[in-house]
């Protein structure tokens, strides 16, 4: 099953050459009126580890890359039988992939640009690794860096999305201003989506 | 204005070079300016986001990574950060949890594919 973006001829060489794939989190842009919100995800990897030869195996591996059940809470997944789950997941994958293909094929130029940025942008692994190691004082494995970069990107996305909501609510237009960002952070904090171990509220003392 | 600044890292926007409050945070060089700009555009912001907003976001991300690292160090094997710890910390947040699972699965798949490819090459 091809990557939805690959159906575009000019995108194809880019997509195959670059090994970096982005997040397929459902996103809302200003131009998109009512986008479908598939729940599949794509994997994002840095191109540092993989040489150019990786095109073939990577293309083969791409078949399974889209995760259909990622939208469900993790606990639900365990209750389905393993065999049925694989079949179901395959079908859901194919549906989602097709839907994504249809969606991406109908993007305007601006939307395509934005989507490409959304998928390709990533935190540099070296900087994240340096940051983590400066805190732990010892070295960390590559998987930790991969996981942390991925989560950091999701985190940034959550803030930007919330800030865009705030911006719209206040009747402003993008680009986002610091006041939107701060209000977004305040809202996320109240929902406990921002970790904070600095100020602890002791009830009984 | 001071009461708004309970977020770390704003100090460097107001600070005029005095050795003041938050020396580590926000005084260092901007690590992710370029990447964050692309990311913000991808997430829905304008094509040229404001530098101040990018700075705020960078500080938030660094703080997030720092907090996660500290938490991960305190659970599981003390003093070390392992993937299992991160997955454990993220378990309640469905988005992040799914993303980490996907990333790690894909990494494994790619490693396997790479290995198979190399072995095929080795044969010929």
Query: How many contacts, defined by CB atoms under 8 Å, are there between A and B?
Result: 227
Contacts of A185 in chain B (CB under 8 A): 7, 60
Question: What does the pLDDT average to over A47-72?
Answer: 41
pLDDT band at A80 (very low <50, low <70, confident <90, very high): low
What pTM was computed for the model?
0.67
pLDDT averaged over every residue in chain A: 72
Looking at residue A154, what is its pLDDT?
95
Would you say residue A58 has pLDDT above 80? no
Q: How far is A181 from chain B (nearest CA, A)?
A: 7
Q: Is the pLDDT of residue A187 over 90?
A: yes
Give residue A8's pLDDT band: very low, low, confident or very high (50, 70, 90): very low
Of B43, B65, B98, the CB nearest to A157: B43
Inter-chain CB proximity B96 and A152 less than 8 Å: no
Residue scoring higher pLDDT (A57 or A121):
A121
Residues of chain B above pLDDT 90, percent: 50
Q: How many CA atoms lie within 13 A of A157 on its CB side?
A: 25
ipTM above 0.90, yes or no: no
Burial of A78 (0-12, 13-18, 19+ CB in 10 A): exposed
Tokens, residue A188? 């996320």
Q: Which residues of B touch A54 (CB under 8 A)?
A: 110, 113-114, 117
> B31-47 burial, b for 16+ CB within 10 Å, e for fewer?
bbeebbbbbbbbbbbee
Q: What percent of chain A has pLDDT over 90?
A: 44
Nearest-CA neighbor of B71 among B94, B96, B95, B88? Answer: B88
Rounded CA separation A96/A108 (Å): 20
Each residue of A172-197: b (16+ CB within 10 Å) or e? eebbbbbbbbbbbbebbeeeebbbee
Contact (CB, 8 A) for A141 and B82 = yes
pLDDT at residue A64, as a whole number? 40
- Identify from A29, A57, A141 which residue to disrupt to test chain B contact, counting B C-beta atoms within 10 A and taking the largest count: A57
Interchain contact, A45 vs B101, CB within 8 Å: no
Mean pLDDT across B58-75: 93
* Rounded distance between C-alpha atoms, residue A134 and residue A128, angstroms: 10
pLDDT for A19 beyond 50: no
Is A132 within 8 Å of B81 when comparing Cβ atoms? yes
How far is A119 from chain B, CA to nearest CA, in Å?
Answer: 8
Integer Cα distance of B81 and B71 in angstroms: 9
Beta-carbon contacts of residue A56 (< 8 Å; ≥ 6 apart): B117
Other CB atoms within 10 A of residue A70 CB: 21
Identify the pLDDT of residue A116. 94
B24-49 mean pLDDT: 86
Query: A45 and B106: CB-CB below 8 Å?
Result: yes
What pLDDT is recorded for position A198?
79
Q: Say which residues have a Cβ less than 8 Å from residue B59's Cβ, sequence separation at least 6.
A: B7, B8, B9, B10, B25, B26
The confidence score (pLDDT) of residue A39 equals 39
In degrees and rounded to multiples of 5, residue A6 shows phi and psi of -75, -15
Residue A33, pLDDT score:
39
Whether the per-residue pLDDT at B26 is higher than 70: the answer is no
SS3 breakdown of chain B: % helix, strand, coil, rounded to 5?
Answer: 65, 0, 35
Tokens describing residue B55: 């700075």
Confidence of residue A74 (pLDDT cuts 50, 70, 90): low
B14 pLDDT above the threshold of 80:
no
> Does A43 sit within 8 Å of B102, measured CB to CB?
yes
* DSSP string computed for B31-51: SSHHHHHHHHHHHTS-SS--H
Q: How confident is the model at residue A71 (pLDDT cuts 50, 70, 90)?
A: low
Q: Which tens digits make up the pLDDT trace of A90-149?
A: 777 789 999 999 999 999 999 999 999 999 999 999 999 999 999 999 999 999 999 999
3-class DSSP state of A170? coil
């Amino acid at each position: 099953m091809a990557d939805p973006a690959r159906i575009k001829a000019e995108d194809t060489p880019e997509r195959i050459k670059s090994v970096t794939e982005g997040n397929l989190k459902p996103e809302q842009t200003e131009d998109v009126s009512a986008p479908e919100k598939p729940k599949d995800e794509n994997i994002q990897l840095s191109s540092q580890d993989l040489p150019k030869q990786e095109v073939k195996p990577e293309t083969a591996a791409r078949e399974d890359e889209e995760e259909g059940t990622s939208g469900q809470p993790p606990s639900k997944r365990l209750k389905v039988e393993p065999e049925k789950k694989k079949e179901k997941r395959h079908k859901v994958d194919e549906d989602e992939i097709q839907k994504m293909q249809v969606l991406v094929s109908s993007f305007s130029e601006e939307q395509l640009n934005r989507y490409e940025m959304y998928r390709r942008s990533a935190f540099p692994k070296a900087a994240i690794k340096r940051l983590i190691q400066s805190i732990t004082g010892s070295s960390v494995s590559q998987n930790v860096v991969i996981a942390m970069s991925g989560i950091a990107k999701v985190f940034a996305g959550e803030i930007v999305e919330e800030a865009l909501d705030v911006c719209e609510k206040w009747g402003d237009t993008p680009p986002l201003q610091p006041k939107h960002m701060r209000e977004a952070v305040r809202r996320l904090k109240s929902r406990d989506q921002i970790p904070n171990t600095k100020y602890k509220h002791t009830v009984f003392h | 204005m001071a009461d708004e600044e309970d977020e770390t890292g704003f100090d460097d926007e107001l600070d005029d070079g005095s050795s003041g409050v938050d020396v580590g945070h926000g005084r260092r060089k901007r690590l992710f300016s370029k990447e964050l700009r692309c990311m913000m555009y991808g997430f829905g912001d304008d094509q040229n986001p404001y530098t101040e907003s990018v700075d705020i976001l960078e500080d938030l991300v660094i703080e997030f990574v720092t907090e996660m690292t500290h938490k991960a160090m305190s659970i599981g094997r003390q003093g070390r950060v392992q993937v299992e710890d991160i997955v454990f910390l993220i378990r309640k947040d469905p988005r992040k949890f799914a993303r980490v699972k996907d990333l790690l699965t894909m990494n494994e798949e790619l490693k396997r594919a790479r290995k198979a490819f190399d072995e095929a090459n080795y044969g010929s």
